[in-house]
Every structure is written in C-alpha cells, then in structure tokens.
Structure 1
C-alpha cells in the first residue's frame, strides 16, 4: 500500500510540475494574458491619465490584505491604494509594516493606508483585530488572505499550540470576519465580498497533515505547506457554500520570485524559472479584487483571471482521485479547524 501510494504521489507531483511549467511561469503568464478580454496594466501603479491604466476604481471601497509588508501582499496593497481604496495592511511586525505603509503612501499619494497589527496564527489576536476593525469601519469589501509561514521542525515544536499561517490562520480570519458581518447585519450583505488564497494543488489532505501526536516527529515544513494549500481549496469551497452572500475563491499567483520562495527552496528554486515578477503574480489577484461579485465563481480556484482545474493526479493529466476528498473528510477538517481556533 505504501508503494502504491508513493507512486500515485509521484504521478501527481510530476504532473503538477509539468502543468506548472506551462501555466505558472512567466512564459505561462504572458501566454495567458493574450486571452484577457479587459485591459491589463504593466505594473501595480500606473498614472490615471496613462493609456496603460486598466481603469479600475476602488474609491469608497475598503480592503484588508494580510501579510502585506512584503512580496505579493505588498504588491496587492500597492495596487489597491493606487486605485484610491481604503487599505488596511494586516501585519505581524510593526516596524516592517510601517515602512511598507509609508512606501505605499509615497508611491500612490493615498493617505488612506493603515495598519492592523496581529499574528494570523493567533486566534485571539485575529478576534481582537476584527473587533478593532469593526469599530473603525462600517463595511469590508474585500479580504485578501495572503499571510503564510513555513515552519522548521524546531519552530513547529515551539509553536505547536498556535495555529499555523495556513490554513488555520486563514480560516479564523475568514470565519471571524464573515461572522462579524452576519452578526452585524443579520445575514451577509456584502460587508465582506470575497476572500482568496494563493494555492498549490499537489498533495491530498491526509490524516498526518496535522503533524500531531505520533506524526509530530515527521513534520516537514514544505509538506505541511503543500497539505495546507489543498486544505485551502477545500476551505474556499465549503465557505462559499456556507455563506452564499459572500464570494470566496482560492487562487494561485503562479511561480513568483519572492523572499519566501528563496527561503524555502534556495538554489532549487531555479527549476521554477522563468519565474514571474511580483506584479505578474499579483495581477490576477488584483483583478479578483476589482471585479464585480457577479463575475466571480464562488468556490472556484483561479489563475490569471480564470477558474482552473483542481485535480490533475490521474494518468495523462486526467483528474484522478488521489487529490480528492470526501464530504466526510471535509466535514472532519472543518470540525478540527473550529476546535483549533476556538470558535
């Protein structure tokens, strides 16, 4: 059984890599944008009177972007601020958040860029920051769940009583903000319109994904990250069903050159070349943030403005069953998430 499972995992991983080389690289991005029906900017900030401006207008809209002091999160916050949105950067490190905020304000001339300080791996901090946000704002138009962490085995043991940055931290962020909207208005009224995750779909959600009990000694940061990404696809599907008035989607930024990728893969990251620039990885997510909810497919998995397949684990790039989960398994995942985050 172990050997057969190892073969199936090998097939899924190999096909994911080959699929990614075609679609997730910079080459894939440049090919994919040829099918866009709307304009696309060459960078996050483009002057309003520039013919290359995509024409999006977020004035009067309020967004929260988690993990926005660097990388993809900062690029998304930069774009939103350039479109005159009211942007909240939910970050853990105050000094880095302030430096990023000041840079975004300077580049966009938008002073409505503020900071919410919290560690998304701490449910109590998320509850606090949601309450703080509700006291300051009457609505939330978009939540971008971007913050993520890959822990070493040492860090995992030290912090095992906390939630990880994905999916628990993202679940509690989504759940608390969604429920805040429900409690405030009696039903979801668009206080939160959509949320998404940057997702890989390589490995199935297995029992040992939690790395608890007898599995703790086998913890591997990269494997935990991959399991979490599959869990986030399932999470978006379930939350989209649970809150039909809110558009929940998952998404992939492609293989983008970031500090996180460099830290996780080092010299091995070269196999992902040619990698996307920060803007090329963020552009499709920014499109999700500016598109009407009616144009989005709830529970879908997006790349470059289009819903994508969620499974490529079968022979010859068919869907297969290896990365699929039963409804019972998803129910169990949701139950454990609720228990873990204490809501």
Structure 2
C-alpha cells in the first residue's frame, strides 16, 4: 500500500466555507492538521479534545495560523461514554447542522488499561467512542443532508486482523498492536454498515488509511518504530490530506462505505486474506456496541 511513501499534498478544488466540522482528537497529529486544513478553507471547526489546556493552545494556534476565528474547543474524553453523552447533549443544544464529523481520536496502548467505566482503553476510544460519537451526532448530520459525511481515520494495520467479536481482547495475553489492528478493522466494517443503514438519510460514511505519519501518538505508543523510521514517515499534514479531500469531495464522486488511501478507494482486504468473510460479524458487533454504550 506504499504507506511509508511521502506524498505531495495538493491543492483542493473545493472549499468548505461556512460549513460546520467536528474533529475528535484535534489538539495534535493528524487531528490537528485536519482541523487546521478545514479552518484554512473557511470551515467552522469544533475541536473535540480531552485536555482543556492543550486544546485551548491548539485552537488558538489554528486561529492565528489561518485567520479563521470560528475555531472552537469542545472538551470531551472519547474514552468515556458518559463524557460523550454530555458533549452530545451540550452540542445538540446549539441546534446547528454538522456537515462533517471526523472520527480521528485514537489510542494504541501497549498494556491493558481499564477505563473508569470498565472497558479496555483502546476499545473504549477506538471502537466504542467512535460508535457513540457517530450515532449521537446523526440527528445533526441529518440537518446538513444531503451534504453531510462522516470520515473515520482507520489504519493499514487493519489488513492484518479479521473482524472478531472479542472486542476487548480478553481471550489471551493482551498485545497492544494487535488490539489496535482489530479496532481499526471494526471501524472499517462499521463504516460499511452505517453506509447501508443510513443510506436514505443523506449522510455519507467513509473510512481512510493515512499512511504511517510521524505523530506524537506513534512516537509514544511505538517509540522503536518511530525512531527507526525517523525522517521516512509522513508528516501529520500528509496523513491528513485524504481526510480533508474526503470532506471536500462531492458525494457523488465517493463510494458509500468506501475505504480510501491517498485520495483513491483502496481494497479492504489483502488478496487471499482470511479477513474477507469476517465482516459478516458486524451486525452482532454493532448490537453489542449499542448495548455497551446504552444508546
């Protein structure tokens, strides 16, 4: 998939002036680059960040860099269903259409950590948090129909993992990188399911693979990998390029439920891989996620 390939970010043909965009995990890395890219094209951007101080600093930097004052911080911990519900309630009271939701917040934990709500941390952020945020924002996305879309930042790591119903990796010794790959496979399969479930609501659903980018998250979770490939990995801006492209493209040019890499639809499975038949499990997984999030 050429995921270590540096790319030349190109100009975007369209603008997004006046549209409302939510970006989760927006204070650093690909999330920050996405928020800045959307703000520079005239969007009103709501940056969903866990840490208030870092979020405020990032929002201020983007306002200064882009000259766009319509960049706002929304404090929410995506690992907490309670926090996401509180955010959704607050945000819904604004009664504004959401044109673009970017599910970027993600984590790769090398050790099993349990959240205060009793969930394995990687699952809580990457899967349950992404699921709850998307479902709770759906009424506001419908307000922006037929132009609304959800872009979920997945990973090429998902090529190594079939869809599995053991979402919290309880069946054997916890392996952080493998759990991350499993989580990203769920995101891709969920995107397919959402595209089918909500095809009549005027909301597009897409997932994408940013390539391996030199972000704070990669440096923290995979320090050896990050150090060995220093200078060869993509920048956060290169990683965010396809996210912004998906936000700007006319929906008729995009494939519902599609998985994208470098501005083009990409396969969801490697040739002859055992992952191909696994997506049939998504119905029961989505049912379990709804029960877990108590939506």
State the TM-score, normalizing by the size of structure 2: 0.89
Q: Does 1:177 align with 2:137?
A: yes
Q: Distance in 1 between matches of 2:15 and 2:280?
A: 42
Q: Distance in 2 between matches of 1:337 and 1:209?
A: 10
Residues 161 and 167 (structure 1 numbering): CA distance in 2 closer, same or farther, change over 3 Å?
Answer: closer
Report matched runs for 1:1-343 at 5 Å.
Answer: 19=1, 23-27=2-6, 29-30=7-8, 40-41=10-11, 54-156=12-114, 160-161=118-119, 164-179=124-139, 181=141, 189-190=145-146, 192-200=148-156, 201-212=159-170, 215=171, 218-244=173-199, 245-269=202-226, 270=228, 274-312=232-270, 319-326=271-278, 328-343=280-295
Unpaired stretches in structure 2, ≥5 consecutive residues: none
Asked if the contact 2:165–2:285 (Cα under 8 Å) also holds between the matched residues in 1, the reply is no
Q: Distance in 2 between matches of 1:223 and 1:274?
A: 23
Asked if the contact 1:140–1:191 (Cα under 8 Å) also holds between the matched residues in 2, the reply is no
Residues 126 and 320 (structure 1 numbering): CA distance in 2 closer, same or farther, change over 3 Å?
Answer: same
Structure 1 position 223, deviation (Å): 1.3
Asked if the contact 1:178–1:192 (Cα under 8 Å) also holds between the matched residues in 2, the reply is no
Q: Distance in 2 between matches of 1:278 and 1:272?
A: 13
Q: Distance in 1 between matches of 2:25 and 2:241?
A: 17
Residues 118 and 308 (structure 1 numbering): CA distance in 2 closer, same or farther, change over 3 Å?
Answer: same
Structure 1 position 154, deviation (Å): 4.8
Structure 1 position 137, deviation (Å): 4.1
Max Rg structure: 1
Q: Distance in 2 between matches of 1:161 and 1:231?
A: 16
Unpaired stretches in structure 1, ≥5 consecutive residues: 1-18, 34-39, 42-53, 313-318
Q: Distance in 2 between matches of 1:272 and 1:234?
A: 32
Structure 1 position 328, deviation (Å): 4.4
Q: Distance in 2 between matches of 1:191 and 1:286?
A: 15
Q: Distance in 2 between matches of 1:292 and 1:191?
A: 8
Residues 325 and 121 (structure 1 numbering): CA distance in 2 closer, same or farther, change over 3 Å?
Answer: farther
Structure 1 position 327, deviation (Å): 5.6
Q: Distance in 2 between matches of 1:79 and 1:192?
A: 18
Q: Distance in 1 between matches of 2:167 and 2:82?
A: 24
Larger deviation, residues 138-147 vs 162-171: 162-171
Structure 1 position 209, deviation (Å): 4.0
Deviations 1:239-265 (A, max 9, x none): 000111211011011111111111122
Asked if the contact 1:126–1:173 (Cα under 8 Å) also holds between the matched residues in 2, the reply is yes
Q: How many residues align?
A: 288
Asked if the contact 1:25–1:254 (Cα under 8 Å) also holds between the matched residues in 2, the reply is yes
Asked if the contact 1:140–1:190 (Cα under 8 Å) also holds between the matched residues in 2, the reply is no
Q: Which has the higher helix share?
A: 1
Asked if the contact 2:80–2:117 (Cα under 8 Å) also holds between the matched residues in 1, the reply is no
Larger deviation, residues 272-281 vs 152-161: 152-161
Deviations 1:281-329 (A, max 9, x none): 11111111111222211111001110001111xxxxxx22411244641
